[in-house]
A and B are shown apart, each in its own frame.
Chain A
Amino acid sequence: MGVIEDHGSVLLLLTILFGFFMAWGVGANDVANAMGTSVGSKAITIKQAIVIAMIFEFAGAYLAGGEVTATIRKGIIDPELLGQTPELLVYGMMAALLAAGIWLLAASSMGWPVSTTHSIVGSIVGFASVGISVDAVNWIKVGEIAASWVVSPIMSGSLAFLLYLSVRKFIFSTADPFVSAKRVVPVYMFMMGLVVTMLTFVKGLKHIGLDLSMQEALLYSLGVALLITLVGIVSLSRITRVSDSSQHNLVYVEKVFSVLMLFTACSMAFAHGSNDVANAIGPLAAVNGIIESGGFVAQTSTMPIWILLLGGGGIVAGLAMYGHKVIRTVGTNITELTPSSGFAVVLAAVTTVAISSGYSLPVSTTHTLVGGVLGVGLARGISALNLRVVGTIFISWIVTLPAGAILAIVFFYLFKWIFGSG
């Protein structure tokens, strides 16, 4: 146990640094895709997107980020196998953070849309299977995670497809789309409110001392969702038609959807925060657990709140320093998305990410969004999509796994060599 006692604070400090860097990267890069769809459909401005992202990414990370963090921290590796050599887990988690961070930095500078989630999971599996032993990896859990990467875009795509069909049926195909939009959009608001609040009340909040039973959680969620819907109805009532000609009708329908999009953008940021913060702070939480307990691989210790705060803070810092630039680039390039189709994409992605967060599964927000975009495309809701780019995006996640793994293995042996073993 010598290493932990001798170098404990140095190791923890380094991990905090790497973890913050990673959270910073999530804020600077990843958030752009989550918010870009809303900015691109001109439902919100870039400034609004930044403010929304800051508030709701932080809230999502802090209130609902614990579940996925637990998976990254102790779900992928079986900590019991490492009872004798806790320092290996510390090196490994540090290596995973550093590897994922560097891979993300390299890939983003090339313009590849690599997923933070895939990088960190690939890195952890890499160092654990090569650096420790193949048995140290909880392959069942890894299999579940990998399956969720296939299922999440498909699920999001199907949801987006159905949502867009419903928009067409209940709004665009009616005699007066504007009136129908005002009537139907609050239903979407309610659905969206319910998804986000359920995620928060059912799975989150335990760490701030609010342990609710299932019924209570459901009740509170319904209440908050209704409240959100009411706010929505009030803001919708402010939109009035100036001209009554059918030519301008669509403009007003899209205005109604813009209000909805403001809500979905908030929930997107929240869901993204709840899932992606884990990539940065999951390894940090693992290292902190070992060092605090003086070298025991503690599986049951609770997550310290400061780690969640650090993760949320890192995301906000990344957003503030660099995010506006990326959101601008993404947002101004997505011009072919209307608020009505953009809403279907985002709500489908939000629901999928929130459900994944609820099941403690780390998924890629970007891939979920891509699935949603394809779903709306199949429902004839987007005028032109580049299928070749879609292919490139899906290939990039296959490349990310070995890349993260190899880097993590290299760093693992490097840390082992620097700090020594046993």
Chain B
Amino acid sequence: MSRRPLFSQIFARSPIAPIQEHMKVACSAAIKLPEFFVAVIKSDWESANAIGDEISSIEGEADDIKRKIRANLPRSLFMPVSRSDLLDLLKSQDKIPNRTKDIAGLCRGRKMKFPGELGNLMHDFVASSVRAATMAMQTLDELDELFETGFGGREIDLISDLISKLNEAEHEADEKQHEVQMLLYKMESEINPVDVIFLYRIIDWIGDIADNAQAVGNRMLNLIAK
């Protein structure tokens, strides 16, 4: 029905804004984690469940955005970056809310406890992992400018800079993870062995958030290098 002239149809809707939107939503799930762990460590299951539900609904929202972006990226689209690089970027982004949801789900499901010093170290570890995710979001914020300047040199320098900071944040999270693991190793005999297994798993998953944030940064480097 629309009589939109073909000439204007050459210009397809840019996927950049939706991808940035997806990252914002993805990150907003991870940002809930520190708050969630405060509740879990206090064994305040009422608040923990409320936050967990929020995380689940944010994860669903991110999935919806991801699906829409994929549906609007036909192969006939001509873009300054490769379509598969863009889809890889989206995939890495989407792993952040997915992992966040897994973490919240496991903690709630097993009513997990983080006794004594372990709880304190967990606070720090979660915070630094989430910080990596927010840094990835900030880096992705520059994506639209990168496209607008036609991948100009200055914008690339800026992004490379942000990505190296993101890598530092990931490294910091790695160190925190190591500390938590060392402590848990020492405490193994005091905790129920089954719980120990799942504590290690939770620690791994929290580390995954920083890893995925770093992956987002690396995918962005792929976009730039062409």
Contacts and interface: CB of A to CB of B under 8 A. Distances in A.
A384 B5 contact: no
Contacts of A164: 150
Contacts of A167: 150
A387 interface: yes
Nearest to A385: B78
A239 to B, nearest CB: 18
Contact of B158 (A246, A331, A389): A246
A386 B12 CA distance: 6
B10 A385 contact: yes
A333 B8 contact: yes
B11 A382 contact: yes
Nearest to B79: A384
A370 interface: yes
A293 interface: no
A369 interface: yes
B80 A382 contact: yes
A327 to B, nearest CB: 10
A25 interface: no
A377 B147 CA distance: 11
B7 A370 contact: yes
A36 interface: yes
A164 B2 CA distance: 32
A383 B10 contact: no
B147 A383 contact: yes
Q: How large is the interface on A (under 10, 10 to 19, 20 to 34, 35 or more residues)?
A: 35 or more
A139 to B, nearest CB: 31
Interface stretch (B13-21, B95-103, B173-181): B13-21
B8 A40 contact: yes
Q: What is the interface of chain B mostly: helix, strand, loop, or mixed?
A: loop
A418 interface: no
B148 interface: yes
A240 B63 CA distance: 43
A386 to B, nearest CB: 5
Q: How large is the interface on B (under 10, 10 to 19, 20 to 34, 35 or more residues)?
A: 20 to 34
Contacts, number: 129
Interface string A377-408: 10111111111111011001000000000000
Given A173-B153, A173-B154, A386 B4 contact: no
Interface string B50-92: 0000000000000000000000001011111000000000000
A238 B225 CA distance: 37
B3 A373 contact: no
Contacts of A173: 152-154
A337 interface: yes
B154 A174 contact: yes
B172 interface: no
Contacts of A384: 11-15, 77-79
A235 interface: no
B77 A385 contact: yes
Contacts of B4: 111, 329, 333
Contact of B16 (A177, A370, A383): A383
B189 interface: no
Given A173-B152, A175-B154, A33 B10 contact: no
Given A175-B154, A387-B77, A336 B5 contact: no
A250 interface: yes
A326 B7 CA distance: 11
A329 B3 contact: yes
Given A380-B80, A383-B80, A386-B76, A36 B8 contact: yes
Contacts of B78: 377, 384-387
A400 B150 CA distance: 35
Contacts of A250: 145, 148-149
A336 B14 contact: yes
A388 B77 CA distance: 8
B10 A389 contact: yes
Contacts of B150: 164, 167-168, 172, 340-341, 379-381
A366 interface: yes
B124 interface: no
A389 B145 CA distance: 26
A172 B152 contact: yes
A205 to B, nearest CB: 32
Given A111-B5, A384-B78, A338 B148 contact: yes
Interface string A133-171: 000000000000000000000000000000010011001
A390 B80 contact: no
A32 interface: yes
A171 B153 CA distance: 10
Given A177-B154, A383-B14, A384-B79, A330 B149 contact: no
A113 interface: yes
B152 A389 contact: no
Contact of B6 (A111, A168, A337): A111
Contacts of A383: 14-16, 79-80, 147
Interface string B146-169: 011111111100100000000000
A336 B12 contact: yes
Contacts of B192: none
Contacts of B151: 168, 380
B216 to A, nearest CB: 19
Contacts of A379: 150
Given A168-B153, A329-B4, A377-B80, 8 more contacts: A33-B5, A168-B152, A175-B154, A336-B12, A380-B150, A383-B14, A385-B77, A385-B78
* In the complex, the 3 A-B pairs of residues with the closest C-beta atoms, listed nearest first: A172-B152, A380-B80, A173-B153
5 contacts: A164-B150, A168-B149, A336-B13, A384-B13, A386-B10
